[in-house]
Structure 1
Amino acid sequence: MRTALVGGGASGIGHAVAERLAGSGDRVVITGRRADALEAAASQLSGAVGDGPAREVHALVSDMADPTSAVAAMDEVDDRYGGLDVLVLNAGGPPPGGILDLDDARWREASELLLLGPLRLARLAMPGMAKRGFGRVVFVTSTAVRQPQPDLAASVVLRSAVTAAAKLLSREFATDGVTVNCVAPGATSTERRTQILTNRARAAHLGFDELDAQDLAHIPAGRAARPAEIAAAVAFLASDDAAYINGTVLTVDGGRTETI
């Protein structure tokens, strides 16, 4: 049985990824900062579904932005399960704001969450993966790294840096069966999207439904993604079938991104 660690597993995309991996037979450890939400999510995800086997999902309170917490989390995974096979680096987005709206403190806070924290976990996990001869690291980023959104400056800048870092990481242990890739979601039906559109609606003096309709009109598919659709892309990159896919970005956006 593989062991997978999924960041932000209590809700949204992280929850959907945990559900998908657990349904495929992986032991899944979901992490986040809120113990109550994590425990509730782990309880909901665990157990058998229909006639299928029981799903094994565990909650582990950990703050990706806290170096001490990250080390403790990886130590616990090593002690309990003998190492990690799949690492899904998924973190909530920072507060919105333009490139000149964010002060140094907010840049540092966002950097710990989106860049330094994920890199720290990858640095802790990948050598063990290489030693065991198998590993999958998947960064969940955003299509904003290819088509920047001005009011999400911290996400654009730092997730772009994460994308570059993932490319470099993909070379480190490729001959040892370890791959590193990114999944870049577009508009997805999560609380995060609701928060972003609410802020934009307020700034534009528009109703939420009106702005939501305008946003969806720019998506060829005509709708936002379901979290399960992002999870399917992550699960594929984490699978044995994706062994020769390394250092790439898989965009899941309904055709919205206009770059080639």
Structure 2
Amino acid sequence: MRTALVGGGATGIGRAVAEDLARGGHRVVITGRRAEALETAAQELRAATGAPVHWLVNDMSAPDTAAQLLGEIGSEYGPLDVLVLNSGGPAPGAVLAVDDAQWQSAFELLLLGPLRLARLVLPAMAQRGFGRVVFVTSTAVRQPQPGLATSVVLRSAVTAAAKLLSHEFAADGVTVNCVAPGATATDRRAQILTARAAATGRAYADVVAEDSAAVPAGRPAEPTEIAAAVAFLASSAASYVNGTVLTVDGGRTETI
């Protein structure tokens, strides 16, 4: 049984990923910052899947927690085979409206935190001859959105880092990829659209309808649809998929 660590696993995309991996036969450890939410999610996931789902509190943006987290996982559940680097996004804001403290906070959460975990996990995966690392980013890295400046800038850096990492361990059976979700029916989307409505003085329902209409599919993704892409990249079937960005957005991104 392979062991998978899923960040942000209590809600939204992270929870859907955890469920998909659990149904696929993985031992899953979900992490996040809220113990009560994690414990509830783990209980519900165990009941739904019949698989071992565990939880550990971890703050991706805290510099000193990565080694402790992986040490606990290693001692309790064995080596890590799959690492899904997923976290909540920073607050919306235009590029010049974000102050230094906000940039630094987002930098720790979106870039440095995931890289700390990858730094600790990838060499051990390579030694064992199997590993899957999946960064959950955003379609904003391909089609920048002015109101999501920190996400655009820092997730673009994450995408570049993932590409570099994919070269280093490919010959050892390890892949590093990104899944870039578009509009997805999560609390994060509601936060973004609420901020957009407030900034423009429009009704929230109108902003939601406009956002959905901009997607060729005519709706946001369900978290399970993003999870399916992550689970594929985490599988043995994706052994020759490496260093890529899998966009899951209902056709919204206009770049080729």
- TM-score surpassing 0.5? yes
Per the TM alignment, residue 78 of structure 1 is displaced from its structure 2 partner at its CA by: 1.3
1:107 has 2:103 as partner: yes
Deviation at 1:47, TM superposition (A): 3.4
- Say if 1:47 and 1:56, in contact at 8 Å, map to a contact too: no
Q: Which residue of 1 aligns with 2:39?
A: 39
Structure 1 residue runs without a partner (length 5+) = none
Cα deviations by residue, 1:201-230 (Å, 9 ceiling, x for unpaired): 111111111011111111000000000000
Match of 1:136 in 2: 132
Deviation string 1:75-112 (CA, Å, 9 cap, x unpaired) is: 11111122100000001000111100111111110000
In structure 1, the residue matched to 2:12 is 12
What residue number does 1:234 align with?
230
User: Which residue matches 2:28?
Assistant: 28
Paired position in structure 1 for 2:117: 121
Amino acid at match of 2:3: T
**Following the alignment from structure 1 to structure 2, what is the Cα–Cα distance between the partners of residues 203 and 153?**
15
Pairing 1:36-115 to 2, within 5 Å after superposition? 36-47=36-47, 49=49, 54-115=50-111
Amino acid at match of 1:21: L
Which amino acid letter does the alignment assign opposite residue 222 of structure 2? Answer: R
For residues 141 and 200 of structure 1, the distance between their equivalents in structure 2, rounded to whole angstroms, comes to: 21
Q: In the alignment, is the contact (CA less than 8 A) between 1:186 and 1:251 conserved in 2?
A: yes
SS at match of 1:101: coil
C-alpha distance in structure 1 between counterparts of 2:77 and 2:133, whole Å: 17
Q: Deviations over 1:141-166 (max 9, x none)?
A: 00000001101000000000000000
- Once residues 220 and 47 of structure 1 are traced to their aligned partners in structure 2, the CA distance between those partners, rounded to angstroms, is 36
Q: Matches of 1:127 and 1:225 in 2, distance apart?
A: 34
2:198 maps to 1:202? yes
Runs of 4+ with deviation above 6 angstroms: none
Read off the aligned partner of 1:167 and give its amino acid letter: K
| TM-score, normalised by the number of residues in structure 2 | 0.99
CA distance in structure 2 between the aligned counterparts of 1:48 and 1:141, rounded to whole angstroms: 27
Q: Which residue of 2 aligns with 1:182?
A: 178
What is the Cα-based RMSD across aligned positions, in Å?
A: 0.7
Is 1:150 the counterpart of 2:123 in the alignment? Answer: no
Counterpart of 1:19, as a letter, is E
Q: Work out the CA distance in 1 between the residues paired with 2:185 and 2:145.
A: 18
Q: Is the 8 A contact 1:30 1:59 kept in 2?
A: yes
Match of 1:255 among 240, 245, 251: 251
Cα distance in 2 for partners of 1:161, 1:255 equals 23
What letter is aligned with 1:11? T
Letter in 2 for 1:165: A
Identical aligned residues as a percent: 71
Structure 1 residue 119: Cα displacement? 0.5
Q: List gaps (5 residues or longer) in structure 2.
A: none
Q: Note if 1:3 corresponds to 2:3.
A: yes
Cα distance in 1 for partners of 2:191, 2:63 equals: 28
1:172 to 155, 168, 189: 168
The answer to whether the 8 Å contact 1:237/1:245 transfers is yes
